[in-house]
A and B are shown apart, each in its own frame.
Chain A
Amino acid sequence: MLLKKKRSRELLLIYLFLLPAFAVFMIYRIIPLGWNLVLSFQEWKAVGPNEWIGLSNYTKMFKDEVFWKSMTNTVIYFAVGSPIAIVLAIFIAIFVNQPLRGRNVYRALIFIPYPITPIAIGIIWQWLYNERFGLINYILRSIGIVDEGIPFLQSFQWALPAVILTSIWQVVGFFFILVLTGLQSIPSELYEAAIIDGASSRNRFFRITLPLIRSTIFICFIVGIINSFTLFDLIYVMTGGGPGHSTEILITYIYMNAFSFGKMGYAASITVILFLFLLLITYVMNRVSGGEAGGMEIYE
């Protein structure tokens, strides 16, 4: 009897302790997700009740050129930006994984941009890209590649690559640390055995290293997804989505529609597409990496 009472008090405490976390997730994750879906079928009115308009937002979206432009740019970011950063990170990690002098210095300095406020990064790089007094144009002029500075962020051709490069610069140090951790968990016996068997260094990389850091690469992609939202901050200060929407991505377009134009319903429908898109990438990456990475470890 006493034991039972004790157990029920313990249970009460357990549920009570879960409650605050649950409440916050309810208010800021679960309810918004549902509400967002509802909003996407409505036209939002600042005053008075919203109007149900069925799939109009979606049909409008599929005809909207700017939506497609921002979708394409988002895909480019994931398909080009992340892989470049990951390949670069693997290279550096392999170099640093040697018995080098100054390993820790490299580790720290390459990592340092990652935790820095993205807005500050945007301001710094906006200036590096500046046509007249930017460091990059100075270097290009000095070595004679160009005569006149290139206005990178004002150019249709260069603005998107310039922003993506900045985001690679910020995230590559973290990918590098993740890959380095992955490399260090590979038992050195594997390499010794391979060397004895006469495997070339190329084969050792493709047959041992790469397969064994597969889940690390998956994690890098996931971090890339999370990081793609800091891309909003970069674009906000560097180009504002311009010139002519050439650096518009889904999240900046959502922000513009919802908070500059007050088209909450339309913005909500784009958000639904963004959400599905991110879910799809996560799923595909999880399958490619063998499906054992990420959240499932915690479940055990």
Chain B
Amino acid sequence: MSRWSLKRPLWPHLFLLPFTLVMVIPLYWVFKTSLTGEILYTYPPSLIPKNPHLFYYIDVYYWIPFLRYLWNSLFVSVIVVVSNIVINSMAGFSLRHSFPGKKLVILIFLSCMLIPFQTTIIPAFLITKQLHLIDTYLGLAFPLLTTIINIFIFKSAFDAIPKSLIDAAKIDGMPEWRILFRIFLPLSKPAIATNIILTFLWSWNSFIWPLVIIRDRNMQTLPLGLARFLSYFEPSSGPLYAFTILVIAPVIVVFLHNQKSFISSMISGALKG
């Protein structure tokens, strides 16, 4: 028993409360403005929204093809998430076995991790152009189709599966590839969750890559549309903040519903990275 576990000190709150407010108030303030449009012209600014309405949210639909952007973002994210689960689990499956050249493969994967995507963006753009994938969903998704961190997350999940289970399946005559889908994947739900959360976030938030390869307005993703939208507006207008809330709402809702797996996913993403 450590000696401070019995009393619950109050003084940390003196520091933590203001700090937490600093973290939360900007988000709350945007939310409030998206409902009322009241900016700091009104003195004193009120903390609770007065006469909230959804007018600005409707406005967003008139100003921009919001549903189109939403669809683009969602569709690309779905491609990315599904392909990551498939490709990464396959690679993780291979890495669980021993085979000639395994050390070399791991070495290559680890050194790829030292190449941040943004430092290869110019040739990546040129390659995408050669492949005629400019302004396409596949082009948007391509660099994110598989991610090294997530391969290793699958590998370590698979490593934890007892060998006896696999041997039993083999004796029953199950072919190798079915072992992946019937035994490995069902037993690796946390790894799958981590893959989904990390790759969804990366795809949803991605900005520089869509900025580089999207010319067609109809192919814009939400962050791209948001950045464009900013250039039409004074930084004080309700629709801009309604749009901002619409872009960040999915992330916040998903986070609040799955806090535990969300945070542990991001931690394992960083620790393996």
A14 close to B94 (CB less than 8 A) = yes
Distance in Å: Cβ of B79 to nearest Cβ of chain A: 13
Distance in Å: Cβ of B173 to nearest Cβ of chain A: 12
**B186 lies within 8 A of chain A by Cβ:** no
Alpha-carbon distance between A229 and B222 when the two chains are bound, in angstroms: 19
B122 close to A264 (CB less than 8 A) = yes
Binds A, one of B50-58, B64-72, B111-119: B111-119
Contact of B40 among A123, A134, A223 (CB under 8 A): A134
Distance in Å: Cβ of B36 to nearest Cβ of chain A: 13
Alpha-carbon distance between A91 and B235 when the two chains are bound, in angstroms: 34
**B164 lies within 8 A of chain A by Cβ:** no
Q: A119-B207, A173-B23 are in contact. Are A138 and B146 (CB under 8 A)?
A: no
- The closest CB in chain B to the CB of A189 belongs to B2
A162 / chain B contacts, CB cutoff of 8 Å: none
Q: A112-B24, A279-B114 are in contact. Are A14 and B16 (CB under 8 A)?
A: no
B95 / chain A contacts, CB cutoff of 8 Å: 18
A29 / chain B contacts, CB cutoff of 8 Å: 112, 115, 117, 120
- The closest CB in chain A to the CB of B148 belongs to A25
Contact of A298 among B110, B177, B211 (CB under 8 A): B110
B116 close to A28 (CB less than 8 A) = no
B16 close to A259 (CB less than 8 A) = no
**B63 lies within 8 A of chain A by Cβ:** no
A115-159 residues at the B interface, CB under 8 angstroms: 115-120, 123-128, 130, 132-135, 138
Distance in Å: Cβ of B8 to nearest Cβ of chain A: 6
Q: A14-B99, A99-B8 are in contact. Are A125 and B26 (CB under 8 A)?
A: yes
Distance in Å: Cβ of B91 to nearest Cβ of chain A: 4
Alpha-carbon distance between A212 and B184 when the two chains are bound, in angstroms: 35
B124 close to A115 (CB less than 8 A) = no
Q: Indicate the member of A18, A21, A113 with the most B CB atoms within 10 Å.
A: A21
Q: A17-B91, A274-B119 are in contact. Are A117 and B235 (CB under 8 A)?
A: no
A39 close to B122 (CB less than 8 A) = yes
B25 / chain A contacts, CB cutoff of 8 Å: 135
**A222 lies within 8 A of chain B by Cβ:** yes
Q: Indicate the member of A11, A35, A133 with the most B CB atoms within 10 Å.
A: A133
A21 / chain B contacts, CB cutoff of 8 Å: 87-88, 90-91, 146, 151
**B230 lies within 8 A of chain A by Cβ:** yes
A171-209 residues at the B interface, CB under 8 angstroms: 173-174, 177-178, 181, 188, 191-192, 195
Binds B, one of A57-65, A76-84, A231-239: A231-239
Alpha-carbon distance between A258 and B201 when the two chains are bound, in angstroms: 27
**A275 lies within 8 A of chain B by Cβ:** yes
Alpha-carbon distance between A28 and B133 when the two chains are bound, in angstroms: 13
- The closest CB in chain A to the CB of B153 belongs to A298
**A217 lies within 8 A of chain B by Cβ:** no
**B169 lies within 8 A of chain A by Cβ:** no
A108 close to B256 (CB less than 8 A) = yes
B114 close to A282 (CB less than 8 A) = yes
A233 close to B124 (CB less than 8 A) = no
Q: A100-B12, A106-B16, A258-B122 are in contact. Are A14 and B226 (CB under 8 A)?
A: no
Interface string of A78-99 (1 = CB under 8 A from B): 0000000000000110011011
**A68 lies within 8 A of chain B by Cβ:** no
Residues on B facing A (Cβ under 8 Å): 2-5, 7-9, 12-13, 15-16, 19-20, 22-27, 29-30, 39-41, 45, 86-88, 90-91, 93-95, 97, 99-100, 105-106, 108-110, 112-127, 142-143, 145-146, 148, 151-152, 155-156, 176-177, 180, 201, 204-205, 207-208, 211-212, 222-223, 226-227, 230, 235-236, 240-241, 244, 247-248, 251-252, 255-256, 259, 262-263, 266-267, 270-273
Write 23 A-B pairs (CB below 8 A) sorted by A numbering.
A9-B176, A14-B99, A20-B146, A25-B108, A27-B127, A28-B143, A29-B120, A30-B108, A32-B121, A32-B122, A36-B120, A92-B16, A115-B255, A118-B205, A119-B226, A123-B226, A124-B26, A127-B235, A219-B271, A229-B208, A255-B211, A271-B119, A271-B121
The 10 A-B pairs of least Cβ separation, nearest first, read A32-B120, A32-B123, A35-B123, A17-B90, A95-B12, A21-B91, A119-B223, A133-B39, A275-B119, A133-B40
Residues on A facing B (Cβ under 8 Å): 9-11, 13-15, 17-18, 20-22, 24-25, 27-33, 35-36, 39, 91-92, 95-96, 98-101, 106-120, 123-128, 130, 132-135, 138, 169, 173-174, 177-178, 181, 188, 191-192, 195, 219, 222-223, 225-226, 229-230, 232-233, 236-237, 251, 254-255, 258-259, 264, 267-268, 271, 274-275, 278-279, 282, 294-295, 297-299
